[in-house]
Amino acid sequence: MRCQWVRSPRDKCARVCYLALAMRWSQAFIPTIKEAPADATSVSHLLLMRGGFIRRIGAGIYEYLPLGLRVLHKVQSIVRAEMDRAGALEVLMPALLPADYFRETGRWDVFGDNLLRLKDRKGGDYHLGPTHEEIITDMVRREIRSYRDLPRNLYQIQTKYRDEPRPRGGLLRCREFTMKDAYSFDVDEAGALASYEKMRVAYTRIFDRMGLAYRLVQADSGSMGGSTSAEFQVLVQSGEDFLAACDSCDYAANLEVAESRAPADQPAATATPPLSKVATPNVGTIAEVSAFLKAPPDRFLKSLLYLAGGEIVMAVVRGDHELNEIKLARALGVSEVALANEEQILKATGARTGFAGPVGFKGKVVVDRAAALVHAGITGANEGDFHIIDVEHTRDYQAEVRDIRSVAEGDGCPRCAKGSLKVYRGIEAGHIFVLGTHYSAKMKACYLDDKGAEHPIVMGCYGIGVSRLVATTIEQFNDTDGMLWPMSIAPYQVHVVGVGQDAAVVDACNKLVAELEQRGVEVLFDDRVERPGVKFKDADLIGIPLRVTIGAKGLASGGIELKPRTERDSKKAEIVPVDRAAEVIAERVRAMLTT
RNA sequence: CAGAGUGUAGCGCAGCUGGUCGCGCGCCUGCCUUGGGAGCAGGAGGACGCGGGUUCGAAUCCCGCCACUCUGACCA
């Protein structure tokens, strides 16, 4: 084991990194475990635990062991390099924050239970920072007064705290996690958009360097109070977010906000007869009524009652569609909506749950644009055990027509004429926002223009879940035996496995490890007195991208064996002559870093 | 916050018709073995989550609390 200060040759930013280049397993702290921990809730969680990368000490609170920390540091250094390249400046704000700043913007209350609060000995209110808009805005308002000082982009890599209702998935959703957050400050909206675009490019470079398959999607700006925003979603089956993407153009959006091509009206072949009421005893759900009346779900008008800004509102979507609460809230101009409870439904419609409908409803009604085109529709009669059939929008009920449903697989793309939408699952790895003057206006972060007039600074904010990325990468790259690290963030670049204790083998191992170290290659050398099977299993588990096997057998047949972790068949390992091994391996590492 | 469940050796679990706790893996020692988590022999390791109650006696039954997990709500 030797530690030294090195300048990594691949790092164009001339950053000096501290890296222990070579590590002998017998001297290391890599406690792998054979049996799966019972509480592992995702592939990445399982493998990070088994591989000895992390340990849990509380719900959503993890320790990083040496391998885990190396990966975390590598992700951080890629993020730093690209942020610096984009002209952002690193700062560090405290994790422990006095309550005053969040009180200033109202988020002390808005964050509610998600904020981890504490008191100091004098009884003063504090919290651990879940994000730092207020703090950075305060820093900037105290120091920046002139348009000459703008634009600026400041970022930090900090530990963040959120009292998640339910942490899960290991590092995917924690209460304490590492995040890179950047904040841009511009004189106007156009400047903010330019800053936003720079971050979009930087993020693309970051995720590309990590070799991830991801998609940039339109996103809900939510309570951040911004206008433009997009998410970087890493595509994995286990992802908790859903996104819709066009199969022929580059339209992609989080399902929360995804749109579909406007539906075309298909007039009924025959005129719809007048309304009539039918008895539907004890059948309330769409599936039940559909079976009872022998009518397909797409003829139904599903009527849901919501509480929006203190008012009861009816939202109507087609029976085969799902209502989208974010779209509904936006259509109503409120920040959020909540499903009405049974009591409120009874009071508003006069019927118990399952029999609500827009016909004759006294309150405000919003109908989805697809539901508005339903002919001879079927809906609740606002009377227990009765439905109404042959309902026509406009003729039989009045409602505001809006897009309030979630898109579904196969819907037409809203952007192009021929494409249709596919639904994917993803993990949000990054999010970029134009915030506007939401925070600067509230906190009076202003600058003077060249005429001496005062304006609020126009802001943007940009987050990357650094610790989440460690887990996300494993979610995307794993097989039945373990992790498959991309070279750029692997804990070590090369894993040397010594088979047997022959003097010739031990000598060859030591010599190769020393040569690799000299060439700046990060190498983990399994020098343990263990059976080969144990070493191979551990090597597959921790997933270092290149494995070098040195044994008597290989040496006899001409050299050492080189095998990428992605190659499952050991017999396909490449035989490299001993005297050229270090050179070939170092070159391979270099090649894998750039692809 | 609502519903469900689990806390017993480092990890995974059994024991729960009350009688002071076992198994597998891991760990230690020795022998043997060495190209995909070997084998044999011996060994160490436990206030059975915490507190109270019932009982001659509680891991086991009862009450309270705590922690954790799952499903939902929530998630810049």
User: B25 C1' – A488 CA distance, angstroms?
Assistant: 34
Contacts of A494 (CB under 8 A, 6+ apart): A516, A521, A522, A523, A524, A544, A546, A547, A548, A585, A589
| DSSP helix/strand/coil, A489 | helix
pLDDT digits (tens, 9 = 90+) for A166-185: 898 999 999 999 999 999 99
Range of weakest confidence among A4-13, A91-100, A278-287, A337-346: A4-13
Question: What is the average per-residue pLDDT within A100-118?
Answer: 92
Record the tokens describing residue A215, joined without a space: 């998609």
CA–C1' A168–B61 (A): 35
The Cα A504–Cα A501 span in angstroms is 8
Higher-confidence position of A475 and A20: A475
Cβ contact A145:A185 at 8 Å: no
User: What is the mean pLDDT of the segment spanning A389-406?
Assistant: 93
Determine which of A146-160, A189-203, A381-395 has the lowest per-residue pLDDT on average.
A381-395
Residue at token pair 């808005």: A110
- CB distance A440 to A434 below 8 Å: no
Residues 6+ apart with CB under 8 A from A497: A526, A532, A535, A536, A539, A547, A548, A549, A550
What single DSSP character describes residue A477? S
Nearest nucleotide (C1') to alpha carbon of A225: B76
Q: Which residues of A229-268 are buried (b: 16+ CB within 10 A; e: fewer)?
A: bbbbbbbbebbebbbbbbeeeebbbbbbbbbbbebeeeee
Instruction: Give the architecture (CATH level 2) of A2-30+492-594.
Output: 3-Layer(aba) Sandwich (3.40)
Q: How far is the CA of A58 from the C1' of B52 (A)?
A: 27
The predicted structure's pLDDT at residue A226: 61
Q: Report the nucleotide nearest the CA of residue A131, measured to C1'.
A: B76
Q: What is the DSSP string of A139-193?
A: HHHHH--BGGG--EEEEEEEEEE---SS-BTGGGB-SEEEEEEEEEEESSHHHHH
Tokens standing for residue A175: 């209460």
Residue A30 has pLDDT above 50, yes or no: yes
- Give the pLDDT of residue A285: 80
Distance of CA A179 to the CA centre of its chain: 12
**Portion of chain A with pLDDT greater than 70, in percent:** 96
Beta strands in A66-111 (DSSP E): 89-90, 96-98
Is residue A197 within 8 A of residue A213, CB to CB? The reply is no
Residue A507 neighbours by CB distance under 10 Å: 12
Q: Is the pLDDT of residue A6 over 60?
A: no
Q: What is the pLDDT of residue A9?
A: 47
Lowest mean pLDDT among A14-23, A61-70, A164-173: A14-23
Name the residues in A85-104 having a C-beta closer than 7 Å to nucleic acid strand B.
Answer: none
Give CA angle at A374 (A371, A376), nearest 5°: 140
**A534: Cβ under 7 Å from strand B?**
yes
How far apart CA A533 and CA A298 sit, in angstroms, is 58
Looking up tokens 């085969």 gives: A320
- Each residue of A527-550: pLDDT tens digit? 999 999 999 999 999 999 999 999
Q: Give the pLDDT confidence score for residue A16 in this predicted structure.
A: 47
Is any atom of strand B within 7 angstroms of residue A223's beta carbon?
yes
Percent of chain A with pLDDT over 90: 74
Residue A307 pLDDT: 86
Q: State the average pLDDT over residues A408-430.
A: 93
pLDDT in tens, A501-519: 999 999 999 999 999 999 9
Distance A53 CA to B5 C1' (A): 29
Quick one: pLDDT band at residue A271, thresholds 50, 70, 90?
confident
Q: Beta carbon of A523 within 7 Å of strand B?
A: no
pLDDT on residue A222 = 61
pLDDT of the residue at A558? 85
Q: What angle (nearest 5°) sits at the alpha carbon of residue A542, between those of residues A32 and A210?
A: 145
Spell out the domain ranges in chain A: 2-30+492-594, 64-257+423-474, 276-402
3-state secondary structure of A72: helix
DSSP state of A201: H
- Predicted ipTM > 0.85: yes
The answer to whether A438 CB sits below 7 Å from nucleic acid chain B is no
Gap between the Cα atoms of A233 and A253, Å rounded: 10
Name the CA dihedral angle for A264, A267, A269, A273, rounded to a multiple of 10 degrees.
Answer: 140
- Please give the pLDDT value at position A311: 85
For CA atoms A328, A434, A173, A109, give the dihedral sign.
negative
Neighbours of A359 (CB within 10 A): 19
Question: Is 3.30.930.10 the CATH classification of the domain at A64-257+423-474?
Answer: yes
Average pLDDT score over residue span A82-91? 98
Residue A287 confidence (pLDDT) above 90: no
For position A168, what pLDDT does the model report? 86
Q: Which nucleotides of B are covered by protein (CB under 7 A)?
A: 1, 11-13, 24-26, 33-38, 67-76
* pLDDT at residue A482, rounded to an integer: 96
pLDDT of residue A289: 86
Handedness of CA A464, A434, A423, A202 (dihedral sign): negative
Residues in a beta bridge with A184? A153, A460
In the beta sheet, which residues pair with residue A154?
A89, A183
Tokens of A538: 């551990």
Residue A340: pLDDT band with limits 50, 70, 90: confident
What DSSP line would sit under A324-377, residue for residue? -HHHHHHHHT-S-EEE--HHHHHHHHSS-TT---STT--SEEEEETTGGG-SSE
Over residues A366-397, the pLDDT tens digits come to: 999 999 999 999 999 998 899 999 999 999 99
Spell out the residues 6+ positions from residue A148 whose beta carbon is closer than 8 angstroms to its own: none
Kindly state the average pLDDT of the residues A323-349.
85
Q: Which of A131-135, A239-243, A577-581 has the lowest mean pLDDT?
A: A239-243
Enumerate helices (H) and strands (E) in chain A, giving the number of each.
15, 33
Is the confidence at residue A112, as pLDDT, over 90? Answer: no
For chain A residues 237-296, those near strand B by a CB cutoff of 7 A are 240
The fold of A276-402 is YbaK protein (3.90.960)
Do the Cβ atoms of A248 and A416 come closer than 8 Å?
yes
Residue A46 CA to B20 C1' — how many Å?
Answer: 37
Stretch A326-350: mean pLDDT, rounded?
84
Q: Is the pLDDT of residue A427 over 70?
A: yes
A133 touches strand B (CB under 7 A): no
Dmax over CA atoms of chain A, in Å, equals 95
The Cα A196–Cα A198 span in angstroms is 5
- Reported as a pLDDT band with limits 50, 70 and 90, residue A5 is very low
Taking the CA of residue A56 and the C1' sugar atom of nucleotide B21, their distance in angstroms comes to 28
